[in-house]
Amino acid sequence: MGPKGVLGLAGTLIVVLLVLSSVFIIPETHRGVKLRFGELVETDIQAGIHFKVPVIDQIREFDIRVLTMDLPSRQYLTIEKKPLDVDSYVAWKIRDVDQFYRATGGDERRAETLILSRVDNGLRDEFGVRTMHEVVSGQRDELMHALRDRANETAVKEFGIEILDIRVKAIEFPGAVSENVYRRMATERHKLAQEFRSRGLELAEGIRADADRQQTVTLANAFAEAEMTRGEGDGEAARIYAEAYGSNEEFYSFYRSLQAYEKTFAGKDDIMVIDSDSAFMKFLKDPAGAN
């Protein structure tokens, strides 16, 4: 290749490099600004292919998607002067690229610092006019919405930033306060447990006394019924004995005498002194029982 060919190739490469350095692409998720010698000459450059003057122009791109930022844990006082440790986060995005660049120089960390300052002051003000119960549960959503609206109004006007949401992730008592709260809660729970035990003992005593009363009544009724049954049985037995005695007096007398003998002479060493003419001995003297 001759000198002319080399020069032509070099010229072609230079032209290609100039064309490439003159073209830039903004992604769909970003917007851009154009700087010329450090001066802002074009803002809010939309997504797509654009041209610039090589070397002279500089392009800065900014993400316009929703970004989140975790705020450092801070301590705030409620209206009762009770301290609370609060963890929160902010969801935000760039709304006005021109204002955002002028306010922050295009530095996201600078933007986060500005947002943190506004949200921190807002949380301090909102917690300061509410009770602990309100910030923990009662008016928590209302607090967040009011803070978001106030912070967003300032952020859009001053920084070109739209604050979409502010949320509290956790609210906790400081260490010393937590110990006091837990101690008081434990004391209240012990007191409540003691009340339940006292009520239980009182109820148990009532149940026990009622059971004892029912036992006494049941035993008394059972004894009365048993005595009645026993009386009826004794009467029936006497009636049967009377019928049996009336139907055969001699056999009944003989049977009763045998029972008397069996009980009397049960012991081998027993000694009895009885007149031989006694009626008790008649069946021993004569099985027929004749006198």
Q: What is the pLDDT along the chain (291 residues), one digit of tens a residue?
A: 566 666 666 666 665 666 667 888 899 999 999 988 888 888 888 989 888 888 888 888 889 999 999 988 888 888 888 888 889 999 999 999 989 998 988 888 999 999 999 899 988 988 888 888 888 776 778 888 888 998 999 899 999 999 999 988 888 877 666 566 677 788 888 888 999 999 998 899 999 999 999 999 999 999 999 999 998 888 888 888 777 777 766 777 777 777 776 777 666 666 666 666 666 666 665 555 555
Domain boundaries, the chain: 8-63, 67-172, 248-285
User: Which residues does 291 contact at the CB level (< 8 Å), separation at least 6?
Assistant: 282
CATH of 67-172, one of 2.40.40.20, 3.30.479.30, 3.40.605.10, 3.90.1150.200: 3.30.479.30
Helix (H, G, I), strand (E, B) or coil at 69: strand
CA 144 to CA 119: how far, in whole Å? 10
The per-residue DSSP string of 87-116 comes to: EEEEEEEES-HHHHHHHHTT-HHHHHHHHH
Q: Can you name the residues that pair with 90 across neighbouring β-strands?
A: 69, 166
Tokens of 122: 């807002």
Cα–Cα distances (Å) from 144 to 73, 155, 257, in that order, read 16, 16, 110
CA 226 to CA 232: how far, in whole Å? 10
Judged on CB neighbours under 10 Å (0-12, 13-18, 19+), 261 is middle
Single-letter amino acid, residue 235? G
- 272, 260 in Cβ contact below 8 A? no
Single-letter amino acid, residue 20? L
Helices (H), the chain: 3-22, 97-104, 108-128, 132-133, 140-159, 175-247, 249-264, 282-285
User: Which residues does 1 contact at the CB level (< 8 Å), separation at least 6?
Assistant: 9
